[in-house]
Chains A and B, each alone.
Chain A
């Protein structure tokens, strides 16, 4: 057990006593009677009015800490040591009754999935007013207070919303309701557990803006849990980096992300595609190994098994808490910055990825071409146009990035291309100049092996009852006709390329981690030497360090095999890294198309512009912040004229809502669907 030598620096009276004080918290889960440690001595403090972020990969214990602050433990969870003080009261020692009072009046929580956090059978009005009834207000007062609470979170029509049920609201709206409930008691402590994970980028931006605004109206201490470093950086004053149940580094948010002082933080930041790096420049850094399992014995440094700087000292002595002098130019506060490491002076010895120099890969001629492709679904009598008039092409060996929010039709596009859905009449999809049949079933084997897919969720993408070897063998057999020994050799080549050992081949998917499963899925996609592989959010379900490894692999495979990718992702950093060209979709229609540089440098389509400014980046705030209004419309009821006009910040009345905008090529290879001219687009947008 480390003795924490860090003296809390005396702070100014703006904070005074800490609102939240976690002191050496130890927590374990009892699995079959055996307690397994999750938190191994977590210590941090949050002052009133301050926002503290906890980051780490899945399994590090950050969510557990967040829930522990309100003493919400799973039935097999037990606090084995330490204290949690909120406003001076020790939460760990409260009785049931005190705890209830505490949760009703002093602390509140905002959850990751607002849809399921709200009771589907109770109207919103009642759920929100409940938060006031326990404060002692009677029925009518509580309803009035609920109405005001909804107004406070900037819901325009609170009366209507109060009459609704949760499933009738959009994700962003649901989260606002949850925030309204959380603020009802004007809490001393507000905990937010991944509040925007799962929301679309533009909606996420709105919710984060809301939280920022509300911070000015309350002096609650905020504890924000996120695995998205960009969100933490944009929202928090200070940040703590968690690994295996311990905080390994803590300091001012900007400082930690610009000048990390722990090998894990360094690794984490290098795994991300930062500062606009491209695949042609270098591979991404990866951290070998995985997070240790709950309950593993880690007496000294928790990071020792994965650290590039680890030596005998690290294995025998607990690392000290080392204070770092603050001084980064952009720090927002003079908060103390510390790191738990023996070798803080040797950080630059952490190996970095080689830079590569394959700028001009073999960009062959066009492989896939889609002309005027549309897809309409019939749902209960209505027609839902999921894709309208798509026009695109993908060249050999190139990656076409596909960006868009929910309802944009990106997954539908991928499935239409692959023949899983049959497009409407009049659509043409060609592969190497010959027309493809609409349905995959009608395509010849040669066409099937030319186009394959890697799915988002590695758990559902592999048959749980088949071994890896069987999965690959069957795919090779079916796609290429190769059988027997030759097939085995092919499998070995594939396994090699994806760094799968023969041991892995004999395993079932449930014995493999997410990253390994995804590698098997990629191997399967490449089994038939495809010309194009559709990657549908292949890394969204994976941790950052694993994501980097997968992206590296995809990049390598592409340069070795000259395969094209249709790469779908909501993560613009990743898309920027991997894609050569990008298309932006909104409500089933292409809005913009161009090379990666063109898309990111501008001039942009208004939607692209908003999207780029909405995404919180770990590299810092974008210079201008465009805020969109309204919700994403349902694809079943597309707005007239330009489908984006209902939310566009450059909306021209009389034009945009009446006439469909033309597709204009503003520079070679860069097409935008908008009424505005190049000059108008290029002008600086009005930041809101």
Chain B
């Protein structure tokens, strides 16, 4: 098991390195004149030059690259262009707020989706099964901002059950905060329920049809014992994998939701940085999301390796 962990981590590091390179390519190499991009087409040349000086775009490409790498390792990306504050001061609180929303959304989605998926698998090809699958397919197609806007209107404005804006007043306790976050979290549920439920269903069907389940049944074990002791730990492996991947995607889906619900999280930070062409902030945010994604998939892979001894032997697979 130890060897597997090492290999997986090493792989993640390589991937991170490639990611930073990709970000570098896009932010520093592609734009013809970053200074001009930031200042706009009407700014005087002196301003543009000053900006370029600050950004360090006149330095040789390799120096810039090295700087980005160093920033990643130390996690210090300097100052935000737009707001004149250290990137870290703005980034971490925003990440914290987004994380609250993501975790809340997951806590609502995952148990529901797994239960629905397993139920659908047990009642294969019945109306209930087909409904769950169709519902899952339909709802997972909806962009987050669409479901966000719809929920905000229907439940927030028309019915008035929950707050229409997500940020709770300063000093609120956890329950209040969660109440404010309910609508955007529900929007997340709508989108992510479908995929997780379908993966669980597929995994459960495979496990139910497997020979080892037949053996368990033939031993005379009661149904609950069969499900818990034999089916679950095999059925949920694809689900764990998918959840790991989805967490990374969740962070990007947040952008729309944070705008609609006026929530100062990572998504909104990125949005503003794009608008202001604030490259330091943007690089930092994108790399951070990439790191989060990698940590989540690494975590998922480790959980799967713990669940499935055979996966430990085979090592990391693309």
| A residues with CB within 8 A of B | 70, 72, 100-105, 108-109, 111, 113, 116-122, 130-131, 134, 165, 167, 178, 181
Bound state CA distance, A101 and B218, in angstroms? 10
- Residue numbers in A under 8 Å from B309 (CB-CB): 120-121, 165, 167
Q: Which of A104, A118, A134, A165 contacts B215 (CB 8 A)?
A: A118
Determine the chain B residues whose CB is within 8 A of the CB of A72 once the complex forms: 214, 217-218
Partner pick for A120 among B218, B219, B222, B308, CB 8 A cutoff: B308
Query: In chain B, what residue has the closest Cβ to A135?
Result: B220
Complex contact B310–A120 (CB within 8 A): yes
Known: A103-B219, A117-B214, A120-B212. 11 other contacts (CB 8 A): A72-B214, A100-B222, A108-B218, A111-B211, A116-B211, A119-B216, A120-B310, A121-B307, A130-B229, A134-B221, A167-B309
CB-based contact B218/A70 at 8 Å: yes
Top 10 nearest A-B pairs (CB, nearest first) are A104-B220, A103-B220, A116-B211, A119-B212, A165-B309, A100-B220, A117-B211, A117-B215, A121-B233, A109-B218
Give the docked Cα–Cα distance between A446 and B230 (Å).
56
Q: Chain A residues near B217 (CB, 8 Å)?
A: 72, 103
Q: Which A residue's beta carbon lies closest to that of B220?
A: A104
The reply to whether the CB of B72 lies closer than 8 angstroms to some CB of chain A is: no
Q: Which of B211, B216, B307 has the most CB of A within 10 A?
A: B211
Min Cβ gap A119→B in Å is 4
C-alpha spacing A167/B314, complex, angstroms:
12
User: Separation in Å of the A652 CB from the closest CB of chain B?
Assistant: 37
Query: Can you spell out 10 A-B residue pairs with CB atoms less than 8 angstroms apart?
Result: A100-B220, A111-B215, A117-B212, A117-B214, A120-B234, A130-B216, A165-B310, A167-B309, A167-B310, A181-B219
| Chain A nearest CB, measured from B252 CB (Å) | 33
Nearest opposing residue in chain A for B125, CB measure = A75
Residue B210 is within 8 A (CB to CB) of chain A in the complex: yes
- Measured CA separation A117–B221 after assembly (Å): 15
In the bound complex, what is the Cα–Cα distance between A667 and B95 (angstroms)? 83
Q: Which residues of B contact A102 (CB under 8 A)?
A: 220
Bound Cα distance from A240 to B70, whole angstroms? 78
| Distance between Cα atoms of A362 and B221 in the complex (Å) | 64
Contacts A118-B212, A120-B308; is A134 near B219 (CB within 8 Å)?
Answer: yes
A104–B308 CB distance below 8 A:
no
CB B166 to nearest CB in A, in angstroms, measures 41
Q: Determine how close the nearest CB of chain B comes to the CB of A623; give it in whole angstroms.
A: 38
**How far is the CB of B89 from the nearest CB of chain A, in Å?**
46
A31 to chain B, nearest CB (A): 14
A111–B216 CA distance with the chains assembled, in angstroms: 12
The docked-state distance in angstroms from the alpha carbon of A108 to that of B233 is 25
Chain B interface residues (CB < 8 Å from chain A): 210-212, 214-222, 229-230, 233-234, 307-310, 313
Alpha-carbon separation in the docked complex, A131 to B217 (Å): 11
Q: Find out whether the CB atom of B219 lies under 8 angstroms from the CB atom of A121.
A: no
| Alpha-carbon distance A316/B222, docked complex (angstroms) | 49
**Smallest CB gap from A134: residue in B:** B220
> How many Å lie between the Cα of A460 and that of B183 in the bound state?
53
Residues on B with beta carbons closer than 8 Å to the beta carbon of A116: 210-212
Given contacts A119-B230, A165-B309, contact A113 B218 (CB under 8 A): no
A113 vs B220: C-alpha distance in the bound complex, in angstroms?
Answer: 20
| Closest residue on chain A to residue B219 by CB atoms | A131
Q: Of B220, B229, B308, B313, which is in contact with the most chain A CB atoms at under 10 Å from its CB?
A: B220
Q: Which residues of A contact B234 (CB under 8 A)?
A: 119-121
A291 to chain B, nearest CB (A): 25
**A100 vs B218: C-alpha distance in the bound complex, in angstroms?**
8
Report the nearest A residue to B312, measured CB to CB: A165
A130/B308 in contact, CB under 8 A: no
Name the residue of chain A whose CB is nearest to the CB of B230.
A119
Is A105 within 8 A of B218, CB to CB? no
Query: Within 8 Å CB of A167, what residues of B?
Result: 309-310, 313
A122 touches B220 (CB 8 A): no
What's the minimum C-beta distance from B212 to chain A, rounded to whole angstroms? 4
* Assembly CA distance A178 to B309 (angstroms): 19
**Chain B residues, Cβ within 8 Å of A100:** 220-222
* Chain B: CB-nearest residue to A126: B229
CB distance from A77 to the nearest CB of B (A): 13
Q: Which residues of A contact B218 (CB under 8 A)?
A: 70, 72, 103, 108-109
Give A113 to B309 CA distance when docked, in angstroms: 19
Question: Which residues of the partner chain A approach B229 to less than 8 Å between Cβ atoms?
Answer: 122, 130
Query: What separation, in Å, do the CA atoms of A181 and B218 have in the docked complex?
Result: 11
- In Å, the complex CA distance between A118 and B309 comes to 13
Q: Is the CB of A130 within 8 A of B219?
A: yes
**Residue on B nearest A72 in the bound complex, by CB:** B218
B215, B217, B221: most-surrounded residue (chain A CB, <10 A):
B215
Bound Cα distance from A328 to B104, whole angstroms: 79
With both beta carbons as reference points, the residue of chain A lying nearest to B237 in the complex is identified as A121
User: How close is A228's CB to chain B, nearest CB, in angstroms?
Assistant: 21
Q: For residue B308, which residues in chain A have a CB less than 8 angstroms away from its CB? A: 120-121
Question: In the complex the two chains form, what is the Cα distance from A104 to B212 in whole Å?
Answer: 16
Chain B contacts for A70, CB-based, 8 A: 218
* Min CB–CB distance A636 → chain B (angstroms): 14
Q: Are B215 and A122 in contact (CB under 8 A)?
A: no
Once the chains bind, are A105 and B211 in contact (CB under 8 Å)?
no
B233 neighbours in A (Cβ, 8 Å): 121-122
| A105 nearest CB neighbor, chain B only | B220
A362 to chain B, nearest CB (A): 50
Shortest distance from the beta carbon of B174 to any chain A beta carbon, whole Å = 37
**B214: A residues at CB distance < 8 A:** 72, 111, 117
CA A131 to CA B225, docked complex, whole Å = 12
Q: How far is the CB of A293 from chain B (nearest CB, A)?
A: 23
Bound: A200/B222 CA distance, A: 35
Please give, as numbers and ranges, the residues of chain B lying within 8 Å of A109 by CB-CB distance: 218
Alpha-carbon gap, A116 to B310, bound state (A): 13
Measured CA separation A117–B310 after assembly (Å) = 15
Which residues of chain B have C-beta atoms less than 8 A from A118's C-beta?
212, 215
* Max chain A C-beta neighbours (<10 A), residue from B216, B219, B233, B234: B219
Shortest CB-to-CB span from A462 to chain B, Å, is 27
Question: Residues of B contacting A101 with CB < 8 Å?
Answer: 220
Q: What is the bound-complex CA distance between A627 and B222, given in angstroms?
A: 41
Bound CA span A550–B248, Å: 57
Are A130 and B221 neighbours in the complex by a CB distance under 8 Å?
A: yes
Instruction: Tell me the bound Cα distance from A119 to B221 in angstroms.
Output: 14
CB distance from B312 to the nearest CB of A (A): 10
* A155–B225 CA distance with the chains assembled, in angstroms: 28
Task: Give the distance to chain A from B234, nearest Cβ to Cβ, in Å.
Answer: 6
A383 vs chain B, min Cβ distance (A): 19
The minimal Cβ–Cβ distance linking A160 to chain B, given in whole angstroms, is 15
Contacts of A117 in B (CB 8 A): 211-212, 214-215
- Nearest CB to that of B234 among chain A residues? A121
Given contacts A121-B308, A122-B230, A165-B309, contact A104 B219 (CB under 8 A): yes
CA distance A88 to B309 in the complex (A): 43
Chain A residues with CB under 8 A of B310: 120, 165, 167
List residues of chain B with CB within 8 A of the CB of A111. 211, 214-215
Closest B residue to A113 by beta carbon equals B211
Which single residue of chain A is at the shortest CB-CB distance from B124?
A75
The chain B residue with its CB closest to the CB of A106 is B220
What is the bound-complex CA distance between A109 and B217, given in angstroms?
11
**Bound CA–CA A535/B310 (angstroms):** 33
The docked-state distance in angstroms from the alpha carbon of A486 to that of B232 is: 61
The distance in angstroms between the C-alpha atoms of A111 and B218, with both chains bound, is 11
Shortest B186–chain A CB gap in Å is 35
Chain B neighbourhood of A165, CB < 8 A:
309-310
CA A120 – CA B313 in complex, angstroms?
A: 13
A111 vs B230: C-alpha distance when bound (angstroms): 17
Complex CA distance for A165 and B306, rounded to whole angstroms = 13
Q: In the complex, what residues of B have CB within 8 A of residue A113's CB?
A: 211
From A103, A105, A121, A165, name the one whose CB has the most chain B CB atoms within 10 angstroms: A121
A178 and B214 alpha carbons, distance in the complex (Å): 13
A70 to B219 alpha-carbon distance, docked (Å): 10
Q: Which residue of A lies closest to B215 (CB)?
A: A117
With a cutoff of 8 Å between Cβ atoms, the chain A residues found around residue B313 in the complex are 167
